[in-house]
Amino acid sequence: MTEADRTETIAPRPQDFPKWRFRMPEEIGVIVALAVMMAVIGVARPRFLNSINLFSLLGNTTFLGMLAIGMVFLLAIREIDLSVGWMFNFSAVIAALLMVAGFDPWLAALAGIVFGACLGLVNGLIAVTLRLPSIIVTLGTYSMFQGLSLVVNHGRAIVPSDQSSSFFWVISYKLFGVLPVAALVFVLLAIAMHVVLHRTRFGYRVQAVGSNPEAATHAGIPTARVRLQTLVLMGAICGLSGTMYLGFRGAIDPNEGSDFVLVVIAAVIIGGTPLSGGHGTIIGAVIGMMIIQVISSGLIFFGIDATWSTFVTGAVTVLAVSLDRLIKYHRTRRAELRRESLHG
């Protein structure tokens, strides 16, 4: 064999390389919907596209958006946590009380995050031990956490007296005068949780359990432990969001968070995470929450009563669920027709 023949044999040929194909992101639908909504409002009300207003929208998305990130993991595993709003509130209340008692605000904030994780652990232990769906468990803990939070704060807003700490300054600081640090943390959290969901063993297990719990069990995945870990993660994210809200606002109202859960679930569904489990999209949840914020802001720019935003959010959620079911039906029907043609 000559040197030329040997080189030809060893060297890869162009057809040996895999063909590169562009894949549209699965969130393209909600991204286009968000862009169209912003364009329509911007054409009618040019001030809407002002950079200050856009960064303000991102800031308003931050705290609820964090909860939506955690909810993606739960829906992906076929679970729903109804107590997220009160875990958010209770964690912030505990952190605020520690600050009032003289603890360093950074340590108090860390304690608030750990406390949120403990609340999630309570939900998880009850759900796993009694083998109950988390939606049933959290229906009860919703009222439990609400009642305990109101008992602890005596039904009053808690305002840390000394807000000269760097904790309050850092959380409320705006980069370049427009981008809140809290919003930057939200974006970094979204990126990190996207990687966790799609690039780690834990994320794989979450989606496997949500896709087919029986098959996951037979494959050796500890489904009970994964459920527990997911609920603890949800609690920790609630604690993080609550303590950051405290640092951003400088106080925590006794009823703050009471109406969060429906908005959070709506954002996740609008973003493309199915209620049937087995799959989740962090990017979609973030875009979904931004769509809700754009709806609320757009109504204000058009001079429409802001109370209509709740109705519009519900309508968009119903539309998103309907489209999801319709797409799944057509995919299933197409697969059935393909099988019939192959066997026919």
pLDDT (tens digit per residue) in 251-290: 999 999 888 998 899 899 988 888 888 888 999 999 999 9
Q: What is the 3-state secondary structure (H, E, C) of 142-202?
A: HHHHHHHHHHHHCCCCECCCCCCCHHHHHHHCEECCCEEHHHHHHHHHHHHHHHHHHHCHH
- Residue 3: other Cβ atoms inside 10 A: 7
Q: Which residue has the tokens 């393209």?
A: 28
Dist CA 285 CA 47 (whole Å): 26
What region does 180 belong to: left with phi over 0, alpha with psi -120 to 50, or beta?
Answer: beta
pTM of the model: 0.85
Locate the domains of the chain by residue range.
Answer: 67-292
pLDDT (tens digit per residue) in 225-250: 999 999 999 999 999 999 999 999 99
Q: Mean pLDDT highest for which of 31-40, 97-106, 174-183, 316-325? A: 97-106
CA 98 to chain centre: 27
